[in-house]
Amino acid sequence: MTLYRDKGVVLRSYKLGESDRIVVLMTEHHGKIRAVAKGIRKTKSKIGARLEPMSHVEIQLYKGRELDTVSQVELIDSSARLHNNLDKLTQGMSMLEAVDQIAEDREPSPHLYRMLHGALNALMEQESPVMLAAFYWKLLAAEGVSPQVHACVGCAVTDGLAAFDIFQGGVQCRSCRTGISISQPAIDLMQQVLGGQLNVALAQPESPASFEISQLATQAMEHHIERRLRSVTMFSPRH
């Protein structure tokens, strides 16, 4: 069997047999992989804690036909700080779920790995009411479905923007409106997220606008992956 090493973020894991687990990781060079971690559920296992969701690891695996096999695991960054904050924990799990739904098995996607790793680091280091929303919008943009937020998707006017239509893919003026109402501060915040001012957007205090774009981001992500996000039932932006 072929032996290889890579860095990755643990997306999730589930039981296999009496003592094993299947671990799903978003890796830097091999895309999303599924691997058997043998004996990980035994009390003497040394690698069990290293393969918790959100952990950033360097991992050695044997390549298999359908499932790879974990050989060695070295912890690069622990997710312990996120586990100590329920709000951040749930946001982190929401990020994992979105990437898990978007990433293709064994399809190299270095940008997804970098985005997820960077977002989890940012989540650990700072507080922002739009952290998860910004990640969703940036993830959609990376997938080629970035919403149009600077001009009406119907007629291209830039003034009097008053609605957002997920199906049409962006903001709308009053004349073209088919979507839901959106405030100008929320449009401004989305323009910052998607227009190269992400740090400015993340520094904004909690507001009705941050709640608006968070709700829209979740709806847009669910529309893109064509299913509900399980983590949404645990996380609801405060307003």
What does the pLDDT profile of the chain (239 residues) look like in tens digits? Answer: 699 999 999 999 998 888 899 999 999 999 999 999 998 877 566 677 789 999 999 999 999 988 999 999 999 998 888 988 999 999 999 999 999 999 999 999 999 999 999 999 999 999 999 999 999 999 999 999 999 999 999 999 999 999 999 999 999 999 999 999 999 999 999 999 999 999 999 999 999 999 999 999 999 999 999 999 988 665 444 43
Closest CA to 218 of 161, 208, 210: 210
Q: Which residue has the tokens 């915040």?
A: 189
* Cα 81 from Cα 93, distance rounded (Å): 13
Can you give the residue ranges of every domain in the chain? 3-80, 126-233
Amino acid at 12: R
CB 33 within 8 A of CB 25: yes
For the chain, the residue count is 239
168, two tokens: 């049409």
Closest CA to 166 of 184, 194, 147: 147
Give SS3 for 162. strand
What does pTM read for this prediction?
0.92
* Cα 49 from Cα 133, distance rounded (Å): 29
Using the 8-state DSSP alphabet, how is residue 128 labeled? -
CB 159 within 8 A of CB 186: no
Q: Which residue has the tokens 């090493």?
A: 5
**pLDDT of amino acid 1:** 67
* Cα 155 from Cα 158, distance rounded (Å): 9
**pLDDT of amino acid 239:** 38
- State whether the Cα torsion 12-94-115-145 is positive or negative: positive
Closest CA to 56 of 22, 80, 20: 80
**pLDDT of amino acid 49:** 75
* Cα 209 from Cα 183, distance rounded (Å): 7
- Under CATH, which number does the domain 3-80 receive? 2.40.50.140
**pLDDT of amino acid 161:** 97
* Cα 173 from Cα 175, distance rounded (Å): 5
